[in-house]
Structure 1
Amino acid sequence: MYIGIDDTDSREKYCTTYVGTLIVEELLKLGYILEEPRLIRMNPMVKYKTRGNGGVCLKIVGKIGAEDTKKNNSNKNNSNNGTPKNIEYDYKQALEDFNRGNIDYEALSKESNCKSSLKSHIKSLKSLKSYRTTLNPEITEESYKLSKSEYLEVKTIVSSIVEKYTDFDCSTTNPGIVLINSRLTRQKKAILKNYYNSVLTEIVSLDEAEAIIKKVGAEYIKYKKGLGIIGSLGAISSYFSENQTYTYELLAYRENDKWGTERYVIDSSVVEMDKMTYPYTFNNVDNNKNIIAPNTKCPVLYGIRGVSKEILFNAKEIVESENIDKYMIYRTNQGTDHHLRIMNIADARENTGAILSGYISEEFTEITGGHVLIELTDSTGSINCIAYEPTKKFRHIIRELAIGDLITVYGTIREEPYQLNIEKINVVKLNNLYEKVKKCECGGTLKSKGVSSGYKCNKCGKRLKYDEIPKIQIVRNLREGFYEVPPSARRHLSMPLSLINYLPNNLR
């Protein structure tokens, strides 16, 4: 079963990942087996998005002791709250174990009447000598279908938590839940695969999302306008993408009574963590400033992003902060460039991500606000590319570009004015630049007398025609290679250059 959730937060409070974490907690208590949760970022150009335009997906792959759970629920004097009989398990430790992949499902299932599919599942895990984890997609049940009572139970849990932890007072918060509890045919998987591409690179409408939900046999729950079902389905559809490049994020949450107060995260410890874990973690600091802690009133204390769960556990131990109420590690598409597509300039369209190659065709222009603009041209057309003021020193790189330089630009295309917002560039080949020698052989200075009259030395009076003036090659300060905007100006989906050696990518 797949559960997608989106659009529960606002810029003032709450967080969809926190909602996902609470749901995981409740499902673990009831004996449900889950894969690692996913946090999926979508097209950053969506105007009606919430803070990060990201949806959460949970995948249930089984349930422990389904038969005993039913019996326990029917026993009014039962004190196990629906958990299987004869099981002693510390559920306070469950979330920690889940994050580390250490939930002992064998212990949970001992002396319980598991469904045959789950027994086979546990047997396969034991044969691989990894029975203490169910997080590897290759060894989990592809599509565990819940019974009617289980489905209703899960649906009730999900909807009640969403309703409790959503900022309904915010006009732009429009939550949505999508549930898929059926075996998906090859055709339905193909539909979801295409949908994932759409939510990353296009503006998907509510009607389009509802049509896809109907085609794949899913159910949805809408609150207010229900725009959240677009991202909820998008998060689910990530399972069916051909591009399975991923990273992880460890999200630490605050104790409830501290929400809305100033966060206590020691900056120097974040800097130290970054030094000790880089390049396996990313986007932690910018100019020695801590950027893992948000500035909103949401439950998140901080978030650390990295290429593996193991490095995140180590990073968490280095960061010094206020008490952590709970934490969750999400598998994400952050830092993967999933939103970018290679194309010609003529094919580029607004509100999408593009990788464009061409030549600089105009000198840079400084525009109001400290932004820097360049023009890129290929055989199909031209487009303006902009480095905004928040990119700080990155703008110096743009200013160093000259007419004739061959570059590849990565970024998203704005609708009005129509231009590409630069996320990073690859200077493929620098054009050779020359300047005329303005010194005479005698040591005097050559003064221009006009194009037709040439130059005259102010010391000896020698005259030279314009094309007789020798040229020397200018030494460029810029070097060929990749350049990127600073972490504080980087989009969630943008791949940092530090990850090139660790993730498959389309950088060229």
Structure 2
Amino acid sequence: MRYSVGIDDHDSPIAGCTTHFSTILINYFIKNNIKLLDYPYLIRLNPNIPWKTRGNAAIKFSIEFNGTKKELADIIWEKSIDYVKNVSKGLEYNRKPGVAVIDYEKSDNLYNLYLKAVSDIIPRDLVIKYSEKIGAELRGYRGVIGSLAAIGFRGPITYELLTYRKRENWNRKREIDISSVKAFDELFFPKVFANMDYIKKKPLIISHGNDPVFYGIRGLDPNILIKGLETIKTNEKLDMAMIFKSNQATDVHIIKTGNRVYQTIKDSCIVDDIKVIRGGDVIIKCLNSATLICYKETGELNLATKNLMHGDIIEFVGSIKPSLEFGEIIEIERIHINSLVNSKFANPRCPKCNGSTESLGKNKGFRCKKCGNKFLGNKMIIRIPRNLSLGIYQARYYRHLTKPLFLEDLDNSFKYEYIMDFYIIYNSINNILYSN
């Protein structure tokens, strides 16, 4: 029988990772001759949820298993409990791991649930109804939401290679040869992305904290990511690695936008006023009363918003968040500048002394502030130099789901390319790790 499996919420603030547990589980299945039908999938869900785990990701994979859904769910759940008790310590930190198993042929029936999980908040009761409708086997509590939703994924994909540390190294500082990361990134760009910050000259691939992930490299071709595993040098011998298909960098969170708190919104704004606060963050007031915030950390996007002015017209993508000061605020990740104000009306100069003037009222003329001369005249047009251009500005450190501007057509990314079978990639990974 063929089944699809979803897994979520196996990490904790001090240890563990859902992808790490999934890699251990996949290795177990392969060693026991249980066949994977495809790559495992790393599925990012709604990035705006405040109670999300670190990356708000769930895992899905599909296998051939000689047994029932219940038997398969029981096997995975037993291993889940062992992991969160003895590895991640997740139960001590109120983690609620979840597992979902359904018939492989029913995966597409969960697409709408997946879209909702990427764009909104899902109550557990709704997931229970979905599971009953399609005959899914669920184990766990809150984690079943992401588990079942991840199974419904379909759409454009990217890839990520995740590497894992030996357990005795989890508390050690990660050290990586930056020149090897840079060489890999420069050689294969734009087939790889979000791996280096060339402004601050630091790698973006290293994980932080005590989790088992050492680094993750993102790209469009698993064959290239394998070259990264061979090229990138670390200060310790890696324990495991796995390549996942993913919805990262696909803008899927914009497919279904909304106007409620914790949803992603896509809308337009006629700028009313801007204010720079808190050491560089920018508040943008729109004429329709919406309030946008652009954080200093967004880099070039933040610099662009500082140069907006009254009357400019932009489109924006952002997250709706509650705010004590504003009621609601929209944290923007991208703007498209459609129109810039490049001129303004000003009082004419005095014809006698060229001094500045003030208006005496509608159709009553002007008075010179310097010499007092009164005269009739018209406002003059002054051109405003702008440090902006029309087009798109995006945060330097974009979120997992945000598509880099250079990835224009993911649907056709692999039209003329040969992508290796999962088992070829899997064996290549192990050959590299065990030969070092």
* TM tier relative to shorter chain: 0.7 to 0.9
Structure 2 Cα separation of the partners of residues 430 and 449 of structure 1? 27
Which residue in 2 is equivalent to 1:400? 307
Which residue in 2 is equivalent to 1:227? 142
Letter of the 1:279 partner, please give it. Answer: P
Q: 1:176 to 1:474 in 2, by over 3 A?
A: same
Structure 2 Cα separation of the partners of residues 194 and 430 of structure 1? 39
Which residue in 1 is equivalent to 2:78? 159
Alpha-carbon contact 1:341-1:354 (below 8 Å) kept: no
Instruction: State the TM-score, normalizing by the size of structure 1.
Output: 0.72
* Deviation by residue 1:112-165 (Cα, 9 ceiling, x = unmatched): xxxxxxxxxxxxxxxxxxxxxxxxxxxxxxxxxx434x9636742553155224
Structure 2 Cα separation of the partners of residues 178 and 454 of structure 1? 76
Structure 1 Cα separation of the partners of residues 24 and 123 of structure 2? 29
> Is 1:147 matched with 2:67?
yes
SS of aligned partner of 1:418: strand
1:29-178 equivalence runs, <5 A: 29-34=31-36, 35-60=38-63, 62=64, 146-148=66-68, 152=71, 155-157=74-76, 159-161=78-80, 163-164=82-83, 165-178=87-100
Instruction: State the TM-score, normalizing by the size of structure 2.
Output: 0.83
Shift of 1:271: 2.8
Alpha-carbon contact 2:13-2:93 (below 8 Å) kept: no
Alpha-carbon contact 1:336-1:493 (below 8 Å) kept: yes
Letter of the 2:266 partner, please give it. Answer: I
> Is 1:336 matched with 2:250?
yes
**How many pairs does the alignment contain?**
398
Q: 1:368 to 1:157 in 2, by over 3 A?
A: closer
Larger radius of gyration: 1
Letter of the 1:236 partner, please give it. Answer: I
> Is 1:299 matched with 2:212?
yes
Structure 1 Cα separation of the partners of residues 188 and 394 of structure 2? 20
Which residue in 2 is equivalent to 1:419? 329
Structure 2 Cα separation of the partners of residues 221 and 215 of structure 1? 16
* Deviation by residue 1:277-314 (Cα, 9 ceiling, x = unmatched): 22221211222221210111111110011122122223
Letter of the 1:172 partner, please give it. Answer: N
Alpha-carbon contact 2:177-2:234 (below 8 Å) kept: yes
1:193-342 equivalence runs, <5 A: 193-222=111-140, 226-238=141-153, 241=154, 244-286=155-197, 287=199, 288-322=201-235, 323-341=237-255
What is the identity percentage for the equivalent residue pairs of Structure 1 and Structure 2? 30
SS of aligned partner of 2:60: strand
Q: 1:451 to 1:36 in 2, by over 3 A?
A: farther
> Is 1:27 matched with 2:13?
no
Alpha-carbon contact 2:72-2:101 (below 8 Å) kept: no
Q: 1:147 to 1:24 in 2, by over 3 A?
A: same
Structure 2 Cα separation of the partners of residues 197 and 29 of structure 1? 34
* Deviation by residue 1:97-116 (Cα, 9 ceiling, x = unmatched): xxxxxxxxxxxxxxxxxxxx
Shift of 1:201: 1.0
SS of aligned partner of 2:406: helix
* Deviation by residue 1:385-413 (Cα, 9 ceiling, x = unmatched): 11023224422211212222222101111
SS of aligned partner of 1:33: coil
Which residue in 2 is equivalent to 1:127? none
Structure 1: which 5+ residue stretches go unaligned? 64-145
Alpha-carbon contact 1:341-1:355 (below 8 Å) kept: no
Structure 2 Cα separation of the partners of residues 161 and 202 of structure 1? 27
Which residue in 2 is equivalent to 1:477? 387
Structure 2 Cα separation of the partners of residues 202 and 476 of structure 1? 38
Q: 1:339 to 1:263 in 2, by over 3 A?
A: same
Structure 2 Cα separation of the partners of residues 397 and 182 of structure 1? 47
Structure 1 Cα separation of the partners of residues 382 and 90 of structure 2? 67
Q: 1:395 to 1:157 in 2, by over 3 A?
A: closer
Q: 1:300 to 1:471 in 2, by over 3 A?
A: same
